[in-house]
Amino acid sequence: MSKKDKIVYQIYPKSYQDSNHDGWGDIQGVISRLDYLKELGINYIWFNPMIVSPQRDNGYDVADYRNFDPRYGTMEDFEELASEAKKRGIDIMFDMVFNHTSTEHEWFKRALAGEEKYKNYYIWKKGKAPGVPPNNWQSKFAGSAWEYVEKFDEWYLHLFDVTQADLNWENPEVRKECADIVNFWRSKGVHGFRFDVINLISKSGYDDDPNEYDGRQFYTDGPREHEFLKELNRNSFGQDEDHLTVGEMSSTTIANCVGYAGEDSNELDMVFSFHHLKVDYKNQMKWELQDPDIMALKRLLTQWQLGMQEKNAWNALFWNCHDQPRSVSRFGNDKEYRKESAKMLAAAIHMLRGTPYIYQGEEIGMPNAYFTDIHEYVDVESTNIYDVLLKEGKSEEEVLHILQERSRDNARTPMQWDDTENAGFSDVTPWLRTAGSYKEVNVKDTLKDPDSIFRFYQELIRMRKEMPVVQEGLFRPLLEDHEKVFAYERKYGDESLICINNFFGEETEAELPLEGYEILLSNYKDAVLADRIVLRPYETIIAYKK
Ligand code: GLC
């Protein structure tokens, strides 16, 4: 199965490389960096949306599904990119945002103009009383999930920003439009697709959430979800032998994901789930800080590995993406042990069963942006929550600290290519400020260092491409009660691979039967194997026996 030797690299195009001096990344910029990606060894690139959008949510508010935003380039640029990538053994994955469109999309404009056909593309309800929305559901970007339109005396649903109106998947015409869009990109040679928040498309009941929560129980993993995905598969990408698909699943369950990404369920190839990235949310609240709960992290990763494996389903493996703060700042130590902890995190995730995703800059250990002024933030979620938290009575200092830890802009700052102004991303002021770390953390210096995080990623990637035990091996947790170490075995025939990871900046002991094993990779040069090992700060060891 082709997905098993894939390593996907995620590019946030707006921040990768500017080639035409406007402070925005673009397609030609990416083309100029393909040799770098080839050297890293990845074989797929997922691009965040580059199509026409007012950019209220950086491309996740789509105004036209079939044309590039000219700031990224043209269809010809894309064709060049695809062919240059192919020459380097790299395929392309596009982001399909089908839960909602921008209110600037022609469909929504025609809906507002009163065309019944297009009105039915969206979700409209009467309010409970004048000025009172249909129910108490909350937008994921703060505030009510409903917006009133006087002309119809109705409200439309927007689970995200008010400019992102939810599509009505109950309408077969909407489902056909979405399949047609996938087919359009297939005809352009794209065979990889990432489906944005795709487990939110089947809504059920529009009652108040009695838990006074946000309503997610009514629209997450809804009743027709699997049916819709099977239909989309059948009518579009499923017609290609060599497709690669991943669904972004919000607040989902293993029980649902074994269907979404089951070997024979004819839905998707794999899923992103996020539970392991909430272990530093206090009481499950994103804007309340706590140190990561490593026992919870171990438990969740283990449950998802075992739960998916048992039903022959497949996980996407990741710490980072454009919506998450940088993992080295979050689960590692981006100061004293930046290199050690970045490598440890990489090994811990890459040796699991599933397909690894690397987010741009992760391979050089880019830390959080640590902005100190609200005006440095662009992300709509961050600027919305800033106001909400201040209203709730938090001090500005507290709120800025929360954003330093949690804002999505931590991931979105320009890629750090070198130590010149704007980090080699652009020669003019970028759309989002460059993070201050670029002088110490950049590609140019990294490539000179034989012991770099980049070289470590290269090794992990090589191992996945070459070793059946990494591609296929069965996962088994080890040291489940150890409070500091996440360790597991992958087993394939008579081959065994053990990955041992110290998640803390202090020494810790671990007992494992390692007789006959040899070290394949470690972040300490003088790592040794023994039945009782003393692991140094953030030490990782990948051991192998045949
Ligand atoms: C997904 C995207 C995120 C976007 C949201 C709404 O979570 O990854 O960036 O804001 O969906 O489309």
129-149 per-position pLDDT tens digit: 999 999 999 999 989 999 999
Mutate to test the pocket of ligand 1, among 60, 94, 220 (most ligand atoms within 8 A of CB): 60
Quick one: how far is CA 454 from the chain centroid?
20
Residue 234 has pLDDT above 90, yes or no: yes
Is the domain of 526 the same as that of 491? yes
545: CB partners within 8 A, 6+ apart: 495, 496, 516, 517, 518
Band of residue 16 on the pLDDT scale cut at 50, 70, 90? very high
272-281 average pLDDT score: 98
Q: Which amino acid is at 544?
A: Y
CB atoms within 10 A of CB 203: 22
Nearest Cα neighbor of 181 from 126, 220, 236 is: 236
191: CB partners within 8 A, 6+ apart: 91, 92, 237, 240, 242, 243, 244
Under a CB-based contact definition with an 8 Å cutoff, are residues 465 and 446 in contact?
Answer: no
pLDDT tens-place string over residues 192-233: 999 999 999 999 989 899 886 789 999 999 999 999 999 999
- Percent of the chain, pLDDT > 90? 97
Give the pLDDT score at 237: 98
465 domain residue, yes or no: no
136 domain residue, yes or no: yes
323 is catalytic: no
75-89 average pLDDT score: 98
Q: How many domains does the chain have?
A: 3
- Residue 279 has φ and ψ, to the nearest 5°, of -75, -5
Nearest Cα neighbor of 201 from 228, 177, 182 is: 228
Decide whether any atom of ligand 1 lies within 6 Å of the 196 Cβ. Answer: yes
Rounded (5°) CA angle 368-51-414: 20
Atom of ligand 1 nearest to the CA of 99: 12
Residue whose entry in the numeric block shows the structure tokens 């060894």 = 41
- Residue 89 has φ and ψ, to the nearest 5°, of 75, 25
| Average pLDDT over the chain, rounded to an integer | 97
Is the domain of 177 the same as that of 300? yes
> Using CA atoms, how far apart are residues 45 and 62, in angstroms rounded to an integer?
20
Under a CB-based contact definition with an 8 Å cutoff, are residues 238 and 186 in contact?
Answer: no
Residue 1 has pLDDT above 80, yes or no: no
Of all protein residues, the one whose alpha carbon is nearest to atom 6 of ligand 1 is 60
Decide whether any atom of ligand 1 lies within 6 Å of the 165 Cβ. Answer: no
420: CB partners within 8 A, 6+ apart: none
Here the tokens at position 176 are: 């056909």
> Using CA atoms, how far apart are residues 534 and 536, in angstroms rounded to an integer?
6
60 domain residue, yes or no: yes
Residue finishing a domain among 166, 191, 218: 166
> Using CA atoms, how far apart are residues 456 and 92, in angstroms rounded to an integer?
24
366-395 average pLDDT score: 97
**52: helix, coil or strand?**
strand
227 domain residue, yes or no: yes
Give the pLDDT score at 2: 80
Distance 533 CA to ligand 1 centre (A): 42
Length reported for the chain: 546
pTM of the model: 0.97
Quote the radius of gyration of the chain (alpha carbons, Å).
23
| Residues of the domain holding 339 | 8-99+172-457
Output the furthest CA–CA distance in the chain (Å, rounded): 75
Is the domain of 184 the same as that of 44? yes
Give the pLDDT score at 212: 66
293 is catalytic: no
Band of residue 388 on the pLDDT scale cut at 50, 70, 90? very high
Is the domain of 308 the same as that of 368? yes
466 domain residue, yes or no: no
**Active-site annotation holder among 57, 69, 248, 267:** 248
